[in-house]
Structures are given as structure tokens and as C-alpha cells.
Amino acid sequence: MPSGGGLGTTGASASACIYGMNKLLNLGLNNNELIDFARYGEVASGGSPHADNVAAAMLGGFVLIKSYNPVDVLKLEMPKFTTVLAVIRKSQRTTRGFITYEIGQEKLKEQMARCSRVIHAIHTKDIVEFGNAISVDHIAEPVRGAAIPSYWEIKQKVLEAGAYGFTISGGGSSVIAICNDDNSQKIEQIMKTGFNENPNFIQTIVTHNSNKGIVEV
């Protein structure tokens, strides 16, 4: 997996490091404390100690950051679904600084409704609704989508081919389609063809989501 592909690899390594130190030094840290320490590893890659990736890497499933002071997270078990990733190396260090959070009344209301819908979809194990809810984002996607050539055209084709959802993976610039086993090959082909001209495109991967966080091997 290339570093800088937006798949949370920096968060994964930071999490593994803190998890290991907690065990080796017998520190007895709980999950919130582990995540709070691990997120400082993200300063090296993204410039800010955000917990998004480390929380997901540490716990698996869907993790909501309830608060930062103190760090308090909620882990939800996700229903199983198929995912198609297009792994794309980022052309710039981070797009985080370009994101505007001043999105206006209508978009802010929709953004809040979509966050609510995501949680409802997880509780009702409704992957169609989950995919639908994550497929519009007024905050990160406009900025990050603009930095990925052909992003919007490919998104439209993938959704037309029956994907439940399509968005940018975390800090980007990899993208992720949520679908089922039946249409995953067709969707993989659309993404492979669509991103083929992009010099930063690495590969596509068909996989499944997981509720497992860190495991010792």
C-alpha cells in the first residue's frame, strides 16, 4: 500500500505503535487514551492531531468521535458490504488546509441530516441508505474531488452501475465505492478505466469492510 494514498495508512501505523507500546510497557491505557496518544502521529503526515483514522484503525467498524476534550469515541458495528477502492497517490501533502467549513444554511442543514442518516442506516443495517447518505458531502468532497481528475464523471458512472455509494477515502485522494459482490467487478472496471490516465493512480482493490480493529499476528 503506498503511503499518502488516503487510506489511513499513517493512522494505522500510529495506532499499531501506541497499541504495542501500551502492551510492552504495561501502561493499561483504555481505548480513548490509546486513540488520544495515537492521533499525535497524524501531525507528522497531515499536520493536525485528528483522530479519524487512528480511531478507525484501532477499533474497526464505524467510529464516531464524540469529543476531543477529552477524547471520547463511539464504535458501531457495521453490516458487511463490498467495497471497491481505487488507490491513488496524493499529488500534494494534504488538502486539509483548503477545506472551508463555511458552507451556508442549506448545505449545513443537509450535512447534519446526512450525518444523522448515516447513524440511522448503520443501526438499521441498511447499506443502500448508508451509501446514499455518504454520497453527498458539502465539506471535504468539493475540495478533494476537484483535485482528482475525472472524479465527478467516474462517480456518476459508478452510481449508475448500481453502487450504493461513492466518496473520497478520508484525506484522499483514493476513492471508495460501496456495492455488493454482484456488481463489484463491473464497478472495478469503471474505476480502473476512469482513473487509468491519472499518473498517480496505483491500482483497484475489491474487498470488504471489517469490524475488527488492531489484531496481533
Burial of 52 (0-12, 13-18, 19+ CB in 10 A): middle
Closest contact distance (angstroms) between CB of 8 and a copy of itself is 18
Answer for which of 27, 43, 44, 113 binds a copy of itself (CB under 8 A) is 113
Euclidean distance between CA atoms 174 and 105, whole angstroms: 29
Closest contact distance (angstroms) between CB of 153 and a copy of itself is 24
Of the pair 120, 208, the CB lying nearest a copy of itself is at 120
| Interior/surface letters 22-41, b for 16+ CB within 10 angstroms, e for the rest | beeeeeebebbebbbbbbeb
Closest contact distance (angstroms) between CB of 130 and a copy of itself is 13
Of the pair 13, 111, the CB lying nearest a copy of itself is at 111
Answer for which of 27, 74, 128, 146 binds a copy of itself (CB under 8 A) is 74
Euclidean distance between CA atoms 83 and 21, whole angstroms: 32
Answer for which of 23, 80, 123, 125 binds a copy of itself (CB under 8 A) is 123
Determine, following the binding rule CB under 8 A, whether residue 125 of this chain makes contact with a copy of itself. Answer: no
Answer for which of 16, 21, 29, 64 binds a copy of itself (CB under 8 A) is 64
The label of the residue with cell 465527478 reads: 152
Residues with Cβ within 8 Å of 96's Cβ and at least 6 positions away in sequence, in order, are 46, 47, 48, 171
Of the pair 104, 199, the CB lying nearest a copy of itself is at 104
Closest contact distance (angstroms) between CB of 117 and a copy of itself is 6
Answer for which of 117, 157, 186, 192 binds a copy of itself (CB under 8 A) is 117
Answer for which of 29, 108, 147, 161 binds a copy of itself (CB under 8 A) is 108
Euclidean distance between CA atoms 155 and 137, whole angstroms: 13
114 within 8 A of 137, measured Cβ to Cβ: yes
Give one DSSP letter per residue of 85-129, joined into a string.
EEEE--SSS-SGGG------HHHHHHHHHHHHHHHHHHHTT-HHH
Determine, following the binding rule CB under 8 A, whether residue 157 of this chain makes contact with a copy of itself. Answer: no
Footprint of a copy of itself (CB under 8 A): 64-67, 74, 76, 101-105, 108-113, 115-120, 123, 139
